[in-house]
């Protein structure tokens, strides 16, 4: 397959710390892959909550940078002997994804089977792999366990429930508004609680549902606002998996906070858990397999265009707590 690679491309970049309005669309030189990298022509990119952390300065980053975590597109250039054929459709968590072409490390790319929709491939990248590793490694769920899935209508949240239900787990989800309750029930959650209800009443309900014991694990991407409540609803010897900061980072805490219930707390990231080529291959092939076996539905909240205005709106939307599922940026046909 021969593809004419342009000298310049359009990309969404950020030059300084700030709100969503610091996203700009500009023309930049086409990135050139190094020895261990590949070039991908991007079709769809995904909006992720982490985009806000980089932009707002919560996670320090060098400026200017090209926005975006994950994408689906066509592999257009690869080192000789690369295990994926040029011309194949691929998904990646390479970063710099809001751009017409991106360069990815050769070990951060997986072939997307023809029978999986490219839009699903975007959800599978950061959010799908995260949901899978949280349930497999951060706390390895067992059939019959009870878990609490915070922000259960979000990108990670909807996938996490579906995988957990496939594995025979009892799922309690939380959402901030009534409008998301049905979506979370459709994803299979056994019970859905409103985080806008009082913490006291939610703790009581969770304890009632779990025979007074609490959940085996809390999966919490909300962070600061729900941190204290996590300690009340987790059972003795349970695990709190704090994996995100949508409401702000959790505060530092003394290890003795864990002793009354002999708890475990873990703070994983996708990039630290799925790091080696072997881990990437294992997780991506398991997710592809599960997508088919468990018939995972990758909900799309909205498709946005490839402009600064669209990206600004998408970031406002995901921060505004009104979204359910994936926010997609259409980069090219």
Least distance in angstroms from the C-beta of 79 to ligand NDP: 28
CA 141-128-313 angle, to 5 degrees, is 135
Longest dimension (CA), the chain: 64
> Which residue's CB is nearer to ligand NDP, number 187 or number 195?
195
3-class DSSP state of 241: strand
Select from 27-35, 44-52, 98-106, 292-300 the region that touches ligand NDP (CB under 6 A): 44-52
Site of tokens 């996938």? 159
Q: Residue from 323, 328, 329, 331 that binds ligand NDP (CB under 6 A)?
A: 323
Least distance in angstroms from the C-beta of 183 to ligand NDP: 10
Least distance in angstroms from the C-beta of 162 to ligand NDP: 14
Select from 13-21, 91-99, 107-115, 316-324 the region that touches ligand NDP (CB under 6 A): 316-324
String of contacts with ligand NDP for each residue 217-256, x by CB under 6 A:
----xx--x-----------------xxxxx---------
State yes or no: residue 270 binds ligand NDP (CB under 6 A): yes
> Which residue's CB is nearer to ligand NDP, number 50 or number 86?
50
Least distance in angstroms from the C-beta of 194 to ligand NDP: 9
b/e code 182-221 from CB counts within 10 Å (16+ = b)? ebbeebbbebbbebeeeeeebeeebbebbeeebbbbbbbb
String of contacts with ligand NDP for each residue 136-175, x by CB under 6 A:
---------------x-xxxxx-----------------x
Task: Count CA atoms closer than 13 A to 15's CA, side-chain side.
Answer: 5
**Taking the chain, what is the end-to-end CA distance rounded to the nearest angstrom?**
17
Distance between CA atoms of 225 and 247, rounded to whole angstroms?
A: 6
> Which residue's CB is nearer to ligand NDP, number 162 or number 247?
247
- What H or E segment, with its residue span, contains residue 282? helix 277-293
Instruction: Determine contact, residues 108/186, Cβ cutoff 8 Å.
Output: no
Strand partners, 109: 92
> Which residue's CB is nearer to ligand NDP, number 31 or number 173?
173
State yes or no: residue 268 binds ligand NDP (CB under 6 A): yes
State yes or no: residue 180 binds ligand NDP (CB under 6 A): yes
- What H or E segment, with its residue span, contains residue 54? helix 50-56
> How big is the site for ligand NDP, counted in residues (CB under 6 A)?
31
Q: What is the DSSP letter of 271?
A: H
Judged by the rule CB under 6 A, the positions of this chain that interact with ligand NDP are: 48-50, 126-127, 130, 151, 153-157, 175-176, 180, 195, 221-222, 225, 243-247, 268-270, 318-319, 321, 323
């Amino acid at each position: 397959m021969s593809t004419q690679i342009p000298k310049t491309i359009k990309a969404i970049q950020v030059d300084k710390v700030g709100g969503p309005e610091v996203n700009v669309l500009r023309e930049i030189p086409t990135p050139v892959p190094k020895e261990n990298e590949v070039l991908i022509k991007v079709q769809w990119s995904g909006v992720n909550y982490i985009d806000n952390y980089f932009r707002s300065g919560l996670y320090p980053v060098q400026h200017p940078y090209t926005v975006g975590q994950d994408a689906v597109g066509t592999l257009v250039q690869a080192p000789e002997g690369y295990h994926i054929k040029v011309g194949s459709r691929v998904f990646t968590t390479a970063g710099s994804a809001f751009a017409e072409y991106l360069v990815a490390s050769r070990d951060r790319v997986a072939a997307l089977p023809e029978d999986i929709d490219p839009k699903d491939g975007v959800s599978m990248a950061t959010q799908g792999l995260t949901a899978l590793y949280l349930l497999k490694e951060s706390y390895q769920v067992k059939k019959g366990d009870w878990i609490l899935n915070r922000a259960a209508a979000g990108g990670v949240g909807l996938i996490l429930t579906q995988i957990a239900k496939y594995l025979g787990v009892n799922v309690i989800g939380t959402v901030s508004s009534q409008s998301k309750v049905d979506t979370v029930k459709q994803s299979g959650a056994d019970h859905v609680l409103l985080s806008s209800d009082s913490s006291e009443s939610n703790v009581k309900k969770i304890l009632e549902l779990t025979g007074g014991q609490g959940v085996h694990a809390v999966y919490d991407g909300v962070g600061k606002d729900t941190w204290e409540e996590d300690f009340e609803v987790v059972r003795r010897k349970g695990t709190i998996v704090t994996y995100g900061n949508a409401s702000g980072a959790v505060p530092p805490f003394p290890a003795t906070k864990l002793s009354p219930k002999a708890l475990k707390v873990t703070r994983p990231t996708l990039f630290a858990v799925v790091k080696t080529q072997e881990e990437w291959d294992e997780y991506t092939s398991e997710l592809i397999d599960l997508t088919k076996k468990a018939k995972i539905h990758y909900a799309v909240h909205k498709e946005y265009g490839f402009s600064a205005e669209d990206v600004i709106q998408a970031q406002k939307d995901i921060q505004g707590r009104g979204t359910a599922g994936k926010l997609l940026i259409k980069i090219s046909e």
